[in-house]
Amino acid sequence: MADLKITFSLSDRDVAHLRRVMRHATAAARTLGESDIVARARSLAASVREAKPPRYVVERVEKLETIVSMAADDSWNLPANVRRKVIGALGYFANPADLIPDQVPGLGFLDDAIMIELVVQDLRHEMKAYREFCSFRDSAEQRPWTRVGHDALERRLVAKRRRLREKIRERSDADQERARNRGALRRLW
């Protein structure tokens, strides 16, 4: 049997509701420390993988794992405002309450997958830059056993982060400009 593809759209009202749920869970998670939130989100990702969920969930969990890695990676050095946003988003996944209980076969992780997509939408530029940074770092010539090699790599990583931060800012500015233009077009009609 071929894979069954189901596509659905969320209205602005639906997305607003999910964002309210996200904000509520994030607020509830504020009592936890940052490291606890990261650990709980990492644990959720691992437990979801163990449950052998549908492929659409596994694809989203991979994105969640990237967000968790981004928060935990000291080399990436998230700016404070972005760190708050990332930790806030992970706060939802640190909260055990679910819209759909995870035990419901085939659908139990649907709400988590949708929430991950909302977070990814908000952090897409940061995530893209982080993946590029990791690729650069992983492929960089490294001789950490020498002081010169260690210092040279660190300078290169600092320069790469600076360039990627600029790209993030440019992409975000372009998104805001497109949103303003769409709003202006809607008002004309």
Instruction: Assess contact for 19 and 118: CB atoms under 8 A.
Output: yes
Q: How far is CA 131 from the centre of its chain?
A: 11
Q: What CA–CA distances, in Å, run from 39 to 49, 126, 142?
A: 15, 20, 29
Domain boundaries, the chain: 12-188
Q: List the pLDDT tens digit at each of the 189 positions of the chain.
A: 567 777 878 888 988 888 888 888 888 777 888 899 999 899 988 988 888 887 888 888 999 999 999 999 999 999 998 998 889 888 888 776 666 666 666 666 777 888 888 889 989 999 999 999 999 888 876 655 566 666 788 888 999 999 999 999 999 999 888 888 876 656 655
Query: At how many degrees (to 10) do helices 34-50 and 55-72 cross?
Result: 160
DSSP tally for the chain: helices H, then strands E: 6, 0
pTM over 0.85: no
Tokens at 60, concatenated: 């989203």
